[in-house]
Structure 1
């Protein structure tokens, strides 16, 4: 077995504490060697509040995992790559497609790994769903992705600022699954985007794609949350429940389990493999759909939203 690699975790917020830290701790591939954050820390781990100082002082750290919001992430990723560190990006990989393309070119020029992660693709039932659909003809597909922003991003106003993506922050998870499982690619043909009167990004979205595919995203759902993808084919009906963790075929359970705990360990296992084999993985298909929705979408103003 290869020796564990030292990783620095940058941006110690809710997603880092809930998912990244436990995944790293449980892995034989990694040692959490340092963190960098304005406020957050991890017990027993060296903490920095200056990223340039971390890069200068910690030559032992070969990999940087970025959990910052999308807007500031580019500068950190570019600095890490220029300093010779491999980089792992939380989803979405950036605020714009152009900046992620720039990071791709920089990583390639430096001979380094860049991994744009999509954690929902690692859900338990996504691979079985993709395998089942591979030889089927899709006649219709619909996504229902409705959750409570107050639960998942409490008080985090950045999600409603330009670059924060609004409801596409969770919706892009659904799109990452859709682009992984469909046997043929689709493209956006129209959208309605619901912007709160006091916010810069949408809180709801209805999307239409080629191939009779549609999606309904909403960030105002209280109580039970809904993360479903339904696909009609010439050979039956497929449903992914619980964010891709449970697969049903013609209404009967077929694969998966009702837990999301395996997603981030799988991401870090993938990153370890990419680094050790000298590869990158930067699939921007989910982000293209979001960018197209912002281009084609009809803006609709709805009631103000406050946490």
Structure 2
């Protein structure tokens, strides 16, 4: 069977490289053992990788930064899907308006993979009707996958006839079985540096009155767009946190493992979320998590988050 996933983000994307891309890759590489699997992604560089773990990665659109890149990617998907060459297409919905309704451009089956619905938040941010485009696009689908019960409910509001299966994100079994060597040396934020969505401005404001009393420094690990990284540094200066917060940059492998082992707790100050893999990782490392009571994270057990 010829399977295609589409997602703007990809594991090597310098602007994102987030959990959604990692989750799609883990599924794709397992399916590649028995099927022909392609992942259609946004083009962030002229020489970006086109193969990984037996999975073909096909970038579309011109080389562009993260914001324009997402728009070029969404506008290019209908042309790519009309070319055919697949038996099943799984479209991971992408900001700012999630989808143009790919099933309208092909007679072959297209499933919506919903890790996040961003139309409403993008409307608030930019003042443009991204939520209306999102709702119109969702009405084109017959089948969808949601990573949470909350997202399933939102999909059904947009399209009551949609057949939605809830399949949460997961982590490798060896991570669940691991016995981490715990040490409490810092408070950890681990994720994309997106000030608006990830609530990093809220984190800075919350830290300002208490940072001097905390027994640990704060480590912010992750990367984002140049604009968001500059904005975060300015926020830390404005809130007097330059000496208490360390920016670790993008981390992976042993460095990521060490940061999680040495964390006293994880902070997740997001305004809205998908199904964050870092939350599952934190539980595997036996970490308490401090987060906002947003609907997307309502399924987190009360014993795991505060």
Shorter-chain TM-score: which interval?
A: 0.3 to 0.5
| Structure with larger RCO (C-alpha < 8 A, sep 6+) | 1
TM-score (norm 1): 0.39
**Whose strand proportion is higher, 1 or 2?**
1
TM-score (norm 2): 0.39
